[in-house]
Amino acid sequence: MGSPIAHSKSPAIHAAFAEQTGQQMAYQAVLVPAGGFREALAALYEQGCKGANVTLPFKHEAWLACSERTDRADRAGAVNTVWFDEQGHILGDNTDGVGFIRDLTHNLGCTLAGRDILVLGAGGAVRGIIDPLFDAGIESVVIANRTVDRAEAIAAAFSDRGSIRASTYADLAGQRFSVIINGTSLSLQNALPPLPEDILEPCGLAYDMMYSNKPTIFMQWAQARGAGRAADGLGMLVEQAAESFYIWRGVRPQTGPVIEKLRAGD
């Protein structure tokens, strides 16, 4: 459920999971009009639908619509996975954060424990990864954002988890990080955040949450500055889908073959 949905790879991902695990199911993208989220979800329930993924711009509306949420969804302030109990109550989770961590640690082999991380952006996607980063044992996180107030709000909301601070882009001068996560939507516009030249440690990891069938502009920027690894968010997309699939079906699909299939453009 989202708007727009024409670009969505989720139907192909879930079809691949269903085929791999022998599950009988149908998963379709549903275009939801502005202001029509609750009505659309109720209609899906009436049609016998068992659950749904929710994407932009409805993740917060989905959060509000749930009568029960997991702790991680509560903290993220956003729900991307819903399902119904026997009384028709709406239950919600947020699988984006766990998908992101799984991609970083399992697929890319990055050790997060003890690291000082730089996160760029302070939107919904960034809010969802802070708890999982601390759960993975990071030492500290700096959140840099154009609108610094939004970064400050996230730093305040997660200050109970450990060392977290907000920054402007200008204040990053003179600092270095071995892991930089781009959680802005700038790559969509083929634009870069205004970063100091030597912000990424040699051989560091640069991760762009946006995905594309060619290296994003942020990945290219990092590769030109000696990144050891530069990755986009396709693995995160598939991993969050796998977690949703597990919630609905009780079966955990293998993600590696599906990531490869999507990369190959199948």
Please, what is the end-to-end C-alpha distance for the chain in angstroms? 23
Site map for ligand NDP, 12-51, x if CB under 6 A? ----------------------------------------
DSSP state for residue 65 in the 8-state scheme: H
Q: Write out the two tokens for 4.
A: 């727009």
Q: Does 118 participate in binding ligand NDP (rule CB under 6 A)?
A: no
Q: At what angle do helices 256-263 and 234-249 cross, to 10 degrees?
A: 140
Q: Which range in 34-42, 196-204, 234-242, 254-262 contacts ligand NDP by CB under 6 A?
A: 234-242
Size of the site for ligand NDP (CB under 6 A): 25
Active-site residue identified among 50, 59, 214, 261: 59
In terms of Cβ atoms closer than 10 Å to its own Cβ (0-12, 13-18, 19+), residue 225 is middle
Residue from the set 17, 37, 134, 211 that interacts with ligand NDP by CB under 6 A: 211
CB 92 within 8 A of CB 72: no
Closest CB 191 distance from ligand NDP, rounded Å: 6
Q: Least Å distance between CB 189 and ligand NDP?
A: 7
Starting at the earlier edge strand, list the strands of the sheet with 140-144: 163-167, 140-144, 116-120, 177-182, 200-208, 229-231
The footprint of ligand NDP (CB under 6 A) covers: 56, 96, 121-126, 145-147, 150, 183-186, 188, 193, 209-211, 233, 236-237, 240
Q: Which positions are catalytic? A: 59
